[in-house]
Amino acid sequence: MKQTFFTRTFFEISLIIAGIMLVSAAIPLFQLNDISLLNYGKTVWGIAKELATPHDLIYINPLSGEERNLFPIIFEAYFNSMKIFFLALIISLFISVFLLVLYFSVSERIKKSIEGIGYVISSLPDIFIIGIFQIFIVWFFKRTGILILDVAATMGNPIVLLPAITLSVLPTFFFFILMVTILKEEEEMSYVELAKSKGLRKYRILFMHMMRNVLISLTNHGKHIMWLMLSNLLMLEYLYNVFGVTPFLFSYGEPSIFAVTSIFIFLPFFMLLKILEFTFERRIGSDMNL
């Protein structure tokens, strides 16, 4: 069992990396005048060769035209992005659980309206949220003379905190809506009825028994959440001028740099999903494929 899991994971990782290479090779296709399979094949081969010797890769800044070795500099950008991403993930998980508790403790009618509002917010486009945040910051500054960016700067790294908060808005409501649907399914399970009939308190049942199952079911949607947050993150980095992985992905002339950056983005998320899958498979024996 253990063996097959790891070999399967390894196989999947190499396949996805191959997929990323194929996508990256498709990018410069339209720069060439003759689109042919032979050219495409050549590009794929070129990327594969360059990936084999990663320390020779050179990154040209599209704005300043400066040439640098890719390798030490990409790590700094990469860690900036990852900081924002995981901070946002943690914030949104906490707030959505908090919202869930709030939801759990109000009456049936308010529940319905909370659900409706949550659904509407979770389907707002990311650019709208970023725009509203910016307008709010400007409005707040004009009203009070306090620049929120400065406030955020005294509380920590401004370049991380503010984007992370903006990034966390959509996933929070996405998590919340998902949790509510899962919770409704769980409420009908017999173990909840048993717990109720034993006289356990409402919150004890919620936290000790139901929440675990809710969180486990939540990881089933892991890939989708990552997808949603990743495109948000890159948008945010661009608009807030954060030094992250985005400029490396904008180097349209260099498919190999695009490939390296994509692989860097993909690896930790995929590993995280696989680790979650592995632990759940061992602990509760449920078969997932994330």
Partner 1 sequence: MSKKTKSILLISICSSLILLLLIGSLVFTFSFNGEIPKTNILYDKDDPDQIIGSMPFPPSLQIPFGTDRDGNHMFYRILEGAQITLGVALLISVLSFLFAFVFGILAGFSKSKSKYITQTLFTSFYFIPQSIIAYNMLHPLLWEPYEGFTTTLTERILLQIIILAGILAPTTAILISSETKQILQKDFITSTIILGGGKFYIFYKHLLPHLKLRLFIIFPKIVIQSLLIIAHLSYFGLYFGGTDICYDDLLCDPPKPFIEEWASMIGMYYADLHIYWWIFLGPMLFLTLTILLLSGVSKGMEGLLDIKPIKHVKSSKVLNSSKKEQKASNLTKKDFGLVHRS
Judged by CB under 8 A, the stretch of 16-24, 99-107, 143-151, 165-173 that binds partner 1 is 16-24
Does residue number 22 form part of the binding site for partner 1 (CB under 8 A)?
yes
Does residue number 19 form part of the binding site for partner 1 (CB under 8 A)?
yes
Residues within window 228-257 making contact with partner 1, judged by CB under 8 A: 230-231, 234-235, 238-239, 249-250, 252
Judged by CB under 8 A, the stretch of 12-20, 36-44, 103-111, 211-219 that binds partner 1 is 12-20
Nearest distance from residue 146's CB to partner 1, in Å?
A: 16
**Which of 88, 258, 260, 277: binder of partner 1 (CB under 8 A)?**
258
Least Cα distance to 259 among 91, 42, 21, 15 occurs for 21
Does residue number 30 form part of the binding site for partner 1 (CB under 8 A)?
yes
When the beta carbons of 95 and 239 are compared against partner 1, the nearer one is 239
Site string for partner 1, 132-151 (x = CB under 8 A): --xx--x-------------
Nearest distance from residue 207's CB to partner 1, in Å?
A: 29
Rounded CA-CA distance 164/91 in Å is 8
**Which of 101, 127, 194, 208: binder of partner 1 (CB under 8 A)?**
127
Nearest distance from residue 4's CB to partner 1, in Å?
A: 14
Other Cβ atoms within 10 Å of 92 Cβ, number:
24
Site string for partner 1, 31-50 (x = CB under 8 A): x-------------------
